[in-house]
Amino acid sequence: MMGRIQKLITLLLTVLVTVPIATTARSAESVAFPTQEWSFNGPFGTFNRGELQRGFQVYKEVCATCHSLNFISFRNLTDLGFNENEVKAIAAEFQVEDGPNNEGEMFERAAIPSDMWPSPYPNDNAARASNNGALPPDLSLMVDARAGGADYLYALLSGYHETPQGKEIGEGMYYNAYYPGNQIAMPSPLVEDGVEYGDGTRATLVQQARDVTAFLAWATEPNMEQRKRMGVMVIIFLLVMTGLFYYSKKKIWSDVH
C-alpha cells in the first residue's frame, strides 16, 4: 500500500514540477544541449552539500570577480553545510559599505553574516566599462532565468571551443557551442585546475562547471528542499483525507438503497 502511495506522490509531484519548466523552456530561445543527472532533480531530489561547497568555492574565486549574487546573504551559506564560525570567517573576507556615521558619511567595514553578498562593481556603468560594454548578469536567479536551467548553464560553461573553420566571430566575442548564435562576450571563466578543492576532488573544467551550476541552482531556490518536503506532506494529507471522506460517505449512505 505504501509503495503505491509513494508512486502516486512521485507522479503527481513530477507533473507539478516539470510542466511549468517545460512551458518556460518552450517559450524562450534555446539551443540543443545534453541533459545531466542532478541530485536535486525530481520531486524527492536534494542538494549534495559537497557539490554545493565546491561550487561556492568556484563562484567565490572565479565568478564573483564579475557577477553579483544580490539575493543571497552570507548567513544563507549555513544551508551549504558551513557552520556559524565558518560563515563569519567567509563574511569577514569582504568589505561592505555602511553608514552614515555620526558625521553623516558612509564608511566601509568587514562584512557580517547578516549582510548581503557584495556586488563586484559600484554600479552598472562601472560594470560595463570593465567588460567592454557588456553587463555581467546577476547570478542569483540564473538557473530559472535561462531556458534549460541547470543543464543549459553546465553546457554553456563547458561549451567553449576553438572557433570552427569557416565560422566568423565578432571582435571581442568568443565561440561557445551552446550559446544562441555561438558568440558570447564572456571569455571562458573556467580552466583546468583553476581552483584547489579542499576535499581533494580534481578540479577539472567539467567538474568545476558542474559544481558551480549546482551552487547556482541552490542560489536560485535555497528553500527547494523544504518546498519538496512540504509538497510530499500535502499530497499525503490529501490522500489520507480522500480515503477518510470515501469511507465516511460509504458509512453514511450504507443504509440507503
What pLDDT sits at residue 232?
A: 85
Residue 176, SS3 per DSSP: strand
Residue 120, SS3 per DSSP: coil
Residue 82 lies in a domain: no
List the one residue out of 159, 160, 151, 171 whose CA is nearest residue 216: 151
Residue 166, domain extent: 47-72+117-224
Per residue in 20-67, pLDDT (tens digit) is 444 333 333 556 889 999 999 998 999 999 999 999 999 999 999 999
Residue 151 lies in a domain: yes
Give the amino acid at 109: R
* Residue 166's CATH number: 1.10.760.10
What pLDDT sits at residue 257?
A: 60
What pLDDT sits at residue 179?
A: 93
Per residue in 159-194, pLDDT (tens digit) is 999 999 988 989 889 999 999 999 999 999 999 999
Residue identified by cell 549582510 is 115
Based on the structure, what is the number of domains in the chain? 1
Asked if the bond preceding 100 is cis, omega within 30° of 0, the reply is yes
Determine whether 205 is exposed, middle or buried from the number of CB atoms within 10 Å of its CB (0-12, 13-18, 19+): middle
Q: What is the pTM of this model?
A: 0.81
Residue 91 lies in a domain: no
CA angle 188, 146, 53 (to 5 degrees): 60
